């Protein structure tokens, strides 16, 4: 169970405060803490989304825009990508990141909540979410909302951290994730709370098979998942019927 510090009314409020405080360092720390593997993970996840040139993609909890940029590379200048996030500071950082790419006119950013997307039914070719399912207040509702806005035959894709299962590596990763990540995060972000929250957020998160079942209960078909980099991340993919 994620520990909510005194002064916060809900997990949602706490998560908003965390990401507001680390938005300026989020991308750098992602690269450092993942040993620069986060970029290849996003590319792999987008490759599973079934996007094509001229397509329409959605990234939920888009954060600093890096997943949306990967989608934009696929849909090209004739396509469109929408990014939705509830944290204004992360959206501000996304605008800066997107402005450095050729895709400023391809990507549109919206302020909105993952559990109640401000979007019409059956509109998108895919919906992705990266490193954010751990943070939403209601995982099944978030997946259901993503499925709602994707057209029939389109994909819902989640890229998320998970616990590796390979012997020895599993134990080494446990030490790294639980003890070293908070220290590195504190040095990089200048605060102890945000990256102490990271190990906490994974403790009660569904394992890959449980998350697969949540996808299926949301009505998604042909659900499968891929473990990457020794199992430290997992990509789930489901098809809207």
Give percent of the chain above pLDDT 70. Answer: 93
| Alpha-carbon gap, residue 96 to 106, rounded angstroms | 14
Per residue in 165-188, pLDDT (tens digit) is: 888 998 998 888 888 887 776 665
Q: How many CA atoms lie within 13 A of 98 on its CB side?
A: 26
| Tokens at 158, concatenated | 């989640």
Task: Answer yes or no: is 5 within a domain.
Answer: no
Lowest mean pLDDT among 123-132, 173-182, 215-224: 173-182
- Four-residue CA torsion sign, 174, 176, 180, 182: negative
Per-residue pLDDT for 29 more than 70?
Answer: yes
Assigned domain for 34 exists: yes
* pTM for the whole structure: 0.92
Model pLDDT, residue 197 = 79
pLDDT for 234 beyond 90: yes
CA–CA dist 19, 37 (Å, integer): 21
Assess whether pLDDT exceeds 60 at residue 191.
Answer: no
Residue 144: inside a domain? yes
Work out the pLDDT band at 28, boundaries 50, 70, 90. confident
Total domains, the chain: 1
- Average pLDDT, stretch 211-238? 97
167 occurs within a structural domain: yes
Q: Is residue 153 part of a domain?
A: yes
Q: Averaged over 31-53, what is the pLDDT?
A: 94
Range of the domain at 210: 11-240
Give the Cα separation of 51 and 55 in Å (integer): 6
Name which residue leads in pLDDT, 191 or 67: 67
Report percent pLDDT > 90 for the chain.
71
Confidence of residue 203 (pLDDT cuts 50, 70, 90): confident
Token couple for 205: 């998160």
Task: Quote the pLDDT of residue 177.
Answer: 84
Average pLDDT over all residues of the chain: 92
pLDDT in tens, 44-62: 999 999 999 999 999 999 9
User: Per the domain annotation, does 1 fall within a domain?
Assistant: no
Question: How does residue 1 score in pLDDT terms, banded at 50, 70 and 90?
Answer: low
Is residue 215, in this structure, part of any structural domain at all? yes
Question: How would residue 194 be classed by pLDDT, with cut points 50, 70 and 90?
Answer: low
CATH number of the domain within which 188 lies: 3.40.50.150
Residue 64: CB atoms within 10 Å: 26
* 4 lies in some domain: no
């Amino acid at each position: 169970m994620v520990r909510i510090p005194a002064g916060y009314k809900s997990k949602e409020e706490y998560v908003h405060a965390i990401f507001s405080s680390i938005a300026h360092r989020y991308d750098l720390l992602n690269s450092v803490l993942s040993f620069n593997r986060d970029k290849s993970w996003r590319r792999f996840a987008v490759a599973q989304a079934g996007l094509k040139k001229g397509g329409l993609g959605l990234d939920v909890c888009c954060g600093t825009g890096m997943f949306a940029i990967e989608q934009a590379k696929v849909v090209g200048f004739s396509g469109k990508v929408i990014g939705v996030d509830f944290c204004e500071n992360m959206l501000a950082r996304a605008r800066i990141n997107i402005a450095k790419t050729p895709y400023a006119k391809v990507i549109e950013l919206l302020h909105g909540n993952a559990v109640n997307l401000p979007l019409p039914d059956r509109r998108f070719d895919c919906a992705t979410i990266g490193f954010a399912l751990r943070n939403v207040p209601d995982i099944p509702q978030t997946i259901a909302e993503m499925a709602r806005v994707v057209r029939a035959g389109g994909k819902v894709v989640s890229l998320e951290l998970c616990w590796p299962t390979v012997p020895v590596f599993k134990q080494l990763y446990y030490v790294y994730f639980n003890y070293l990540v908070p220290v590195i995060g504190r040095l990089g972000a200048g605060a102890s709370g945000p990256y102490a929250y990271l190990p906490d957020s994974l403790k009660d998160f569904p394992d890959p098979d449980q998350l697969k079942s949540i996808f299926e209960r949301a009505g998604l078909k042909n659900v499968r998942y891929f473990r990457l980099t020794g199992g430290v991340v997992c990509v789930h993919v489901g098809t809207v019927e």
